[in-house]
Amino acid sequence: MTRPADAETADDERVLLVVHKHWAALVIDAWAFLVTGGAVCAILIIFRGFALSTADIITRATVTFLVPLAFLTLWTMLTFVWTNYYLDMFVVTDRRIFYTSQINFVQRTIQAWYIADLLHANVLFTNLFESFFNYGTLEVTTRDDPEAAYVTGIPDPEYVSAVILQQDDRFGALKETARKQHELLHFLSHEVKGHLAKSKAAFAAIAEGDYGAVSDPVKSLASEGFKDSQKGVETVMNILDGSILSGGATVGGSAIQYDKKPFDFAESVRRVFDDLRTLAERKGIAMSVSAGGPYVVIGDQHKIEQHVIRNFLDNAIRYTFAGQIDITVSSQNGAVRLAVADTGIGITGADTQRLFTEGGHGEHSRATNPESTGYGLYIAKQVVEAHEGKVWAHSSGPGTGSTFYAELPIAKVVPTLAPV
CATH number for the domain spanning 53: value is 2.30.29.30
Q: Which of 85, 86, 92 is nearest to 121 (CA)?
A: 92
Domain-located, residue 252: no
Instruction: State the average pLDDT over residues 148-175.
Output: 73
Amino acid at position 205, single letter? A
Domain-located, residue 18: yes
Q: Find how far residue 300's CA is from the centre of its chain.
A: 25
Domain-located, residue 82: yes
Q: Do residues 130 and 205 share a domain? A: no
The answer to whether the beta carbons of residues 104 and 35 sit under 8 Å apart is no
Confidence band for 246, pLDDT divided at 50, 70 and 90: low
Q: What is the pLDDT of residue 133?
A: 81
Q: Do residues 224 and 123 share a domain? A: no
**What pLDDT, in 10s, does the model give residues 229-240?**
766 666 666 666
Q: What is the DSSP string of 79-99?
A: HHHHHHHHH-EEEEESSEEEE
Average pLDDT over all residues of the chain: 75
Comparing 55 with 32, the larger pLDDT belongs to 32
Q: With a threshold of 0.85, does the pTM exceed it?
A: no
Domain end point (choices 202, 217, 245): 245
Q: Do residues 272 and 399 share a domain? A: yes
318/325 Cα distance (integer angstroms): 11
- What is the three-class DSSP state of 49? coil
Distances (CA, A) of 197 to 7, 191, 232, 418: 50, 10, 9, 30
Q: What is the pLDDT of residue 55?
A: 47
Domain end point (choices 192, 215, 245): 245
Q: What is the pLDDT of residue 342?
A: 93
Q: What is the pLDDT of residue 360?
A: 58
Domain-located, residue 254: no
Task: For residue 294, say if its preceding peptide bond is cis, omega within 30 degrees of 0.
Answer: yes
- What is the three-class DSSP state of 198? helix
Q: Do residues 236 and 290 share a domain? A: no
Q: Do residues 341 and 317 share a domain? A: yes
Q: Do residues 212 and 273 share a domain? A: no
Q: Do residues 224 and 325 share a domain? A: no
Instruction: State the average pLDDT over residues 61-87.
Output: 73
Domain end point (choices 144, 167, 190): 167
Confidence band for 269, pLDDT divided at 50, 70 and 90: very high
Instruction: List the domain range (segments joined by +) for residue 174.
Output: 168-245
